[in-house]
Amino acid sequence: MRTGPAFVLLTLLAISLPRLGDANPSLQWSPFKALYAIGRSNLTVGETTLTLDKPAQGHYRYSAITRPVGIARWFTKGHTQEESEGRLTPTGVLPERYLFIRNSSDPRQERIEFDWTRSQARGESDGKSWQHPLQQGLQDGIAYQLEVMRAFACGARQLDLEVADGHSSDHYHFELLGKETVKTPAGRFKALKIIRAKEGEKPNYTFWLAPEAGYLPVRIYRHDKNVAMALKKLKGRPLN
């Protein structure tokens, strides 16, 4: 996943999420907006805003904007923005366009176009263009968040997902450990506790999906950095 020395505290919580297996036609996506606090060592160092819009029937626009707050603004400038556009199909999310921009002392920009008709992905990473075959089920760097929410809402217990990262991809495994009640600035939630591991590595993330919040992650914890992200405000309910 993307990391950078100048923005590591604010980009390390990009969640890699699994591919949906069996669709549940009774689940419907709804627009929502969620605000998260990013904390480390009892200090709030950043905020992330997630927004899902449905500009047309069967289509989505999903974005995440992360900014430093408080004392972190003394050391970190700029922000990170991710955006995905695509279709909501009966079998899951189908990304069509992806954008990643990091405005900081360690800038980065990436664009990906998913051509499902020709089974080809085209993109540009830091000014360098590329293209390669588009494998079935590949997700972009943020749309997979929607996939994992729906996958576990459908009852998944162990899932795997390929996520595009530049001209390559990363493989992630997710496993449901059980249920826990977690406390966040937005209140207490009964949630599904899930771990994430990159292929060949130990689990490094734990996150909690709350059914009462439309299976939105209400808390995320990155083990090696001792950084947590917790829900502060939610308008709307992602899955109904």
Answer yes or no: are the C-beta atoms of 225 and 208 closer than 8 Å. no
pLDDT number for residue 27: 80
Q: How far apart are CA 35 and CA 18, in angstroms?
A: 22
- Domain-located, residue 56: yes
**In a domain? residue 1:** no
* Structural domain total, the chain: 1
**Coil, strand or helix at 56:** coil
For residue 107, is it within any domain? yes
Q: Would you say residue 191 lies in a domain?
A: yes
pLDDT value for 25: 53
> Is 190 within 8 Å of 179 (Cβ atoms)?
yes
Q: Is residue 2 part of a domain?
A: no
**DSSP symbol at 105:** S
pLDDT number for residue 139: 93
The answer to the question of residue 214 being in a domain is yes
Structural domain boundaries enclosing 195:
8-236
Place of tokens 């449901």: 176
Q: For the chain, how many helices (H) and strands (E)?
A: 2, 14
Structure tokens at 15: 């969640």
User: Domain with 122 in it: what CATH number?
Assistant: 2.50.20
CA dist 32 and 234 (Å) reads 7
Q: What is the dihedral of CA 185, 197, 151, 146, to 10 degrees?
A: 60
Instruction: Report if residue 3 sits inside a domain.
Output: no
Residue 106 counted as domain residue? yes
pLDDT attached to residue 78: 79
Q: Label residue 22 exposed, middle or buried (CB < 10 Å: 0-12, 13-18, 19+).
A: exposed
Q: How far apart are CA 31 and CA 19, in angstroms?
A: 21
Nearest Cα residue to 217 out of 205, 202, 231: 231
Three-state DSSP state, 186: coil
Under-50 pLDDT residues of the chain: 1-23
Predicted TM-score of the model (pTM): 0.86
Q: What is the reported pLDDT for 10?
A: 35
Position 72 scores a pLDDT of 67
* pLDDT number for residue 74: 67
